[in-house]
């Protein structure tokens, strides 16, 4: 996840009218980060949304699309206020959104990046911490690391490809990130 997102591409509280407004605002942030035209990014995401749903359930939306002009995948994360309907099968509105853009024509990279985002966000502990984190720095830590987990916490099998905190610190728990959520 750390290769997809940076702290400046996290929106701790995105106020919006509806799902399309969310996608518009997140597309503008992505376009600025990638030096692309905002309308081109928005059109790519909207076109992709016409053929699939972006609602993944449990209050999570992952709008995604390949975009011409990108050299590597790029992500934007936002907590939404209020939550909006992104067409999830469980019918729950989404209050967490991750916009994923990938280079056009590289489907395998897009699918690997999408799988990474889905794996991370479907972890119930990660989602809970994202909903309760105080600021962009805390959100970034939850998205990109497991250092915030208690030493005896284990992510559910298959729910996180991120290394455990003990793997990152030679067995010493990182106490500064332990209190983020």
> Is 156 a domain residue?
no
Walk along the chain (181 residues) and give the pLDDT tens digit of each residue. Answer: 999 999 999 999 999 999 999 999 999 999 999 999 999 999 999 999 998 899 999 999 999 999 999 999 999 999 999 999 999 999 999 999 999 999 999 999 999 999 999 999 999 999 999 999 999 999 999 999 988 787 765 555 554 444 443 333 222 222 232 322 2
Task: Report pTM.
Answer: 0.83
DSSP one-letter code for 122: T
Cα–Cα distances (Å) from 74 to 10, 52, 56, 109, 172, in that order, read 12, 20, 19, 11, 31
- The SS3 call for residue 61 is strand
> Is 69 a domain residue?
yes
> Is 174 a domain residue?
no
pLDDT in the model for residue 154: 57
Task: Please enumerate in sequence order all residues whose Cβ is within 8 A of that of 131, keeping only pairs 6 or more positions apart, or say none.
Answer: 79, 95, 96
Q: What is the CATH number of the domain that holds 57?
A: 3.40.930.10
- Contact indicator for 98, 14 with CB cutoff of 8 Å: no
From CA 74, how far away is CA 101, in angstroms rounded?
5
- The SS3 call for residue 154 is coil
> Is 121 a domain residue?
no
pLDDT in the model for residue 151: 73
pLDDT in the model for residue 150: 76
> Is 93 a domain residue?
yes
From CA 174, how far away is CA 166, in angstroms rounded?
8
pLDDT in the model for residue 153: 58
Residue 130 CA, distance from chain mean position = 10
Q: How many domains does the chain have?
A: 1
pLDDT in the model for residue 152: 66
Domain enclosing residue 63, as ranges? 7-107
Give me the active site residues, please: 64
> Is 163 a domain residue?
no
pLDDT in the model for residue 149: 81
> Is 54 a domain residue?
yes
């Amino acid at each position: 996840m750390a290769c997809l997102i940076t702290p400046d591409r996290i929106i701790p509280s995105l106020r919006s009218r509806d799902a399309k407004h969310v996608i518009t605002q997140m597309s503008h942030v992505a376009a600025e980060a990638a030096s692309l035209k905002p309308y081109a990014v928005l059109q790519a995401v909207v076109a992709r949304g016409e053929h699939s749903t972006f609602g993944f359930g449990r209050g999570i939306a992952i709008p995604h699309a390949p975009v011409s002009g990108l050299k590597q995948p790029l992500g934007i994360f936002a907590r939404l206020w209020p939550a909006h309907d992104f067409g999830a099968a469980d019918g729950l509105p989404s209050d967490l959104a991750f916009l994923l853009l990938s280079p056009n024509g590289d489907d395998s990279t897009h699918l690997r990046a999408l799988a990474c985002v889905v794996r991370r966000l479907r972890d119930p502990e990660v989602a809970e911490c994202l909903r309760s984190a105080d600021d962009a720095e805390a959100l970034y830590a939850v998205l990109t690391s497991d250092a915030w987990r208690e030493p005896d916490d284990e992510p559910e099998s298959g729910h996180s490809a991120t290394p455990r905190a003990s793997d990152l610190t030679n067995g010493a728990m990182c106490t500064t990130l332990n209190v983020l959520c």
